């Protein structure tokens, strides 16, 4: 039985719901944000391009098995038209390794389209910032940030 999708009146509302779902490791809330389109895309840092809701759901389900993703947005840049909104953000992701906590910077691009059910995500693409790539090459990087 499926539940009715939440209506997001603005791309900012949809984006806040995305980061809230990450913070709460809420897979249903996270997937509720995605467009029903078969061509939705998600790319995690260092990961392959995932196309379609099933592949995206499975990747987040595996990630949430390790707990929530604590990501704060910084330096948000938005390009918006009447039916599409592109958000470029730096995610400050809190990573715990070997008893220590650190903050890893990740570039993320989130794209939202406006449809009959409000604003929905069609793309989430995240990659390590150049500084984090240097750290990842020289040290033991986390397996997957998100």
The domain spans of the chain are 11-138
Cα distance from N-terminal residue to C-terminal residue, the chain: 28
Q: For residue 124, what pLDDT is reported?
A: 98
Model's pTM, two decimal places? 0.84
Distance CA 17, CA 33 (A): 8
pLDDT, tens digit, 9 for 90 and up, residues 68-90:
999 999 999 999 999 999 999 99
CATH class of the domain whose range is 11-138: alpha beta
């Amino acid at each position: 039985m499926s539940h009715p999708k939440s209506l997001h009146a603005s791309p900012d509302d949809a984006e806040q719901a995305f980061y809230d779902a990450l913070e709460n490791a809420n897979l249903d809330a996270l997937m509720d944000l995605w467009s029903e389109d078969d061509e939705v895309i998600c790319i995690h840092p260092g990961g392959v391009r995932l196309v379609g809701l099933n592949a995206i759901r499975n990747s987040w389900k595996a990630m949430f098995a390790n707990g929530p993703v604590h990501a704060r947005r910084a330096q948000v840049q938005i390009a918006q038209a009447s039916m599409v909104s592109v958000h470029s953000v730096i995610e400050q992701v809190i990573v715990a390794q070997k008893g220590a906590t650190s903050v890893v910077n990740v570039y993320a691009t989130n794209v939202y389209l406006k449809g009959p059910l409000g604003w929905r995500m069609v793309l989430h693409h995240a990659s390590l910032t150049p500084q984090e790539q240097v750290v990842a090459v020289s040290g033991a990087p986390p397996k997957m940030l998100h």
